[in-house]
Chains A and B, each alone.
Chain A
Amino acid sequence: MLGPRILGRNGIELRPPTLEDQPLQLQWLAQPESTRFWSPRSGNWTEENAKERYERFAKSEDSVNWAIAFEGETVGFTGIFDIDWVRRDGESGLFIGRHDLYGRGIASEAVRLRTDFAWRALRLHRVHNWIALQNRGSRRANEKAGYRRIGLFERYGYRSGQWMDDWMGEIFPEQVFTRDRS
């Protein structure tokens, strides 16, 4: 399904992605600057396939998908995927395609809004994710929202002469609400 519009701080919002947003993702996935942690920088990048993918996301019953907008412009995507509605657990993901906007706090605000929605609207019990340890921006955004490290998958990939590790994290509503009260 597509997520609802959620207004955040500093001109950042989550909003339902549109068909017109899809070519942006194709452009971003072709850029070296935004694919250091997103191999293989190739794919079935046709408009036809982008449309099919969009329709699949929109029809999906086990995921919630958003576009991330900054000052009215789509700059990335996020969502909660593979939701198990019995265990009430899902896996989150986020991609900021506009690498010229890295470091502006957009991911942090998007994760905050997404996580808040997971508790207050979806009533999930837990959300987990995997992030490249070296992807400090994305990892910090999730840590700021309250994600805690639960493991490290060492040496999952080797790129440009260096190993990369996968950071595994999880978050529960109690953590966030307790922290908000304190």
Chain B
Amino acid sequence: MLGGIVRGKLARLRTPAEADLPLVNAWMADLRVRRGGHLWAEPAAVETWKERLKEAAKAERTVLWTIEADGRGVGFVQVEMGHEPPPGAYIKYFVLDPAVWRRGLGWDAALALHRYFFDYLDMHHMGVALPADNAAALRIAEKLGFRTFGHGHDVYYRDGAYVDQLEMRFDRETWDERWATEREYAPFPDGIAS
């Protein structure tokens, strides 16, 4: 599936379009992005990416968004819905253009994404797996409320060495404790039900 608009303060998630695909291809070919964790797919021709986008739109258990800032695509995120109750979801890819790193866009998009899942879809938990050396992503995850519950060894190989992977989860209770004021909508006025 493709996702609709989720607004942050600096960035917004929006429905992906074919016009985004050359950017996606460039990010997938960027070694800085490839170090960050899981990739959507390997670089390919635009026609191949169009097929991949159609497949992503049809996939019933995943939702794909483009991350946009200042009117242009700066990344993408795909989340997979859990199979078992209580409802949870798992971040498959969260990619940000290296040209906009260190501007707070990753944090802003991540907070908006989790507000959508916890406050709008009423999720019970979220999950993510991150390379143990991705300091920026780990900082965002921990600030949000993710905690490590598993440690995979020698999961990634690059620059002649293996890197571990941290399995993390973010529970509803933590969201409520830390981010109770983050709302998708203003409360209904009193008497709305009359």
Binding site for B on A (CB under 8 A): 26, 29-32, 35-36, 39-46, 48-49, 133-134, 136, 157-162, 165
Asked whether A45 lies within 8 Å of B15 as measured between CB atoms, the reply is yes
Which residues from B are CB-within-8-Å of A159? Answer: 119-120, 122, 184-185
Residues of B in contact (CB 8 Å), total: 27
Q: Is B7 an interface residue (CB 8 A)?
A: yes
Q: Is B139 an interface residue (CB 8 A)?
A: no
Binding site for A on B (CB under 8 A): 1-7, 14-15, 54, 57-58, 63, 116, 119-122, 180, 183-188, 192-193
Which residues from A are CB-within-8-Å of B63? Answer: 40, 42
Asked whether A134 lies within 8 Å of B192 as measured between CB atoms, the reply is yes
Q: Is the interface of B mostly helix, strand, loop or mixed?
A: loop
- Shortest CB distance B124–A (Å): 11
Asked whether B188 lies within 8 Å of A134 as measured between CB atoms, the reply is yes
CA distance A98 to B5 in the complex (A): 15
Asked whether B122 lies within 8 Å of A41 as measured between CB atoms, the reply is no
Which residues from B are CB-within-8-Å of A162? Answer: 187-188
CA distance A31 to B15 in the complex (A): 10
Pick the contact of B122 from A32, A35, A44, A158 — CB < 8 Å?
Answer: A158
